[in-house]
Amino acid sequence: MICDRYTDSTVAYQGYGRGIDIETIKNINDMATGDRKPDLTVLLDIPVNDGFARKTGQEPDRFEKEAKAFHQKVRKGYLRLAAEEPQRWLVIDARLSKETIKQIIWKKVSSC
The CATH number that applies at residue 61 is 3.40.50.300
* Domains held by the chain: number: 1
33-79 confidence digits (pLDDT tens): 999 999 999 999 999 999 988 877 778 788 888 899 999 999 999 99
In a domain, 2, yes or no: no
How many whole angstroms from its chain centre is CA 57?
24
Percent of the chain with pLDDT over 90: 79
Q: Which domain holds residue 61?
A: 7-110
Within-domain flag for 64:
yes
Q: Report pTM.
A: 0.90
Check whether 93 has a pLDDT greater than 90: yes
On whether residue 1 sits in a domain, the answer given is no
**Structure-model confidence comparison of residues 26 and 64, the more confident one:** 26
Percentage of the chain beyond pLDDT 70 is: 99
Report the mean per-residue pLDDT for the chain: 93
Asked if residue 63 is part of any domain, the answer here is yes
Flag whether 15 is in a domain.
yes
Under a CB-based contact definition with an 8 Å cutoff, are residues 45 and 75 in contact?
yes
